[in-house]
């Protein structure tokens, strides 16, 4: 990662950690899944309100490290208004991005603001932090229980 990318990665994560988006409860959520990453202690609840097949509203609450919180925050901004299928596609791309070996090229245009998480590749311990909220979202969309754990 060059210095400019590293600086951007740190800035985006700090900004979202300080000022997370959609950091609230959805009292009438259709689905609600709690995600837990025992390795780091990250614990978030993801709320989803569906409108047919579309994710009409998405929010999260909880606490965790800056990477997990900023990833959850950015996820909500990217996913809101998308269909379930789109959300699954975006998750696959995001997952490929963060689990690829450092230096693997990626499509910045396609990934948009998620590309900043390519920085996570250099800190493998943080991959579970970055994907935690996403795993909770996938479980919510598939209606698979109310709790997911990375372990
Ligand atoms: Zn963490």
Q: What is the mean pLDDT of residues 38-65?
A: 97
Task: Look at residue 145 and tell me whether its pLDDT is greater than 80.
Answer: no
Q: Which helix (H) or strand (E) holds 149?
A: strand 147-149
C-alpha 119 to ligand 1 mean position (Å): 14
C-alpha 95 to ligand 1 mean position (Å): 16
Q: What is the mean pLDDT of residues 135-142?
A: 95
Report yes or no: 9 and 116 within 8 Å, Cβ to Cβ: yes
Task: Look at residue 33 and tell me whether its pLDDT is greater than 70.
Answer: yes
C-alpha 151 to ligand 1 mean position (Å): 13
What is the distance between the alpha carbons of residues 24 and 30, in angstroms, rounded to a whole number? 15
C-alpha 13 to ligand 1 mean position (Å): 12
Residue 93: alpha-carbon gap to chain centroid = 12
C-alpha 43 to ligand 1 mean position (Å): 9
DSSP string for 44-79:
EEEEEEEETTEEEEEEEEEE--HHHHHHHHHHHHHH
- Residue 1's pLDDT is 64
Report yes or no: 75 and 134 within 8 Å, Cβ to Cβ: yes
State the pTM of this model. 0.93
- Residue 138's pLDDT is 96
- Residue 2's pLDDT is 73
Q: Mind listing the pLDDT tens digit for each residue in 73-84?
A: 999 999 999 999
């Amino acid at each position: 990662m060059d210095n400019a990318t590293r600086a951007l990665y740190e800035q985006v994560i700090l900004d979202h950690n300080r000022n997370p988006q959609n950091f609230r409860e959805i009292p009438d959520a259709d689905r609600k899944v709690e995600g837990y990453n025992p390795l780091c202690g990250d614990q978030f609840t993801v709320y989803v309100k569906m409108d047919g097949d579309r994710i009409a509203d998405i929010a999260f609450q909880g606490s965790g490290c800056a990477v997990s919180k900023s990833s959850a925050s950015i996820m909500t901004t990217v996913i809101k208004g998308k269909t379930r299928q789109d959300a699954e596609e975006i998750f696959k791309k995001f997952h490929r991005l963060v689990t690829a070996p450092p230096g693997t090229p990626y499509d910045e245009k396609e990934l948009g603001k998620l590309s900043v998480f390519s920085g996570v590749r250099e800190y493998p311990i943080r991959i579970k932090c970055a994907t935690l909220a996403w795993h909770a979202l996938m479980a919510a969309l598939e209606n698979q229980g109310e709790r997911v754990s990375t372990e």
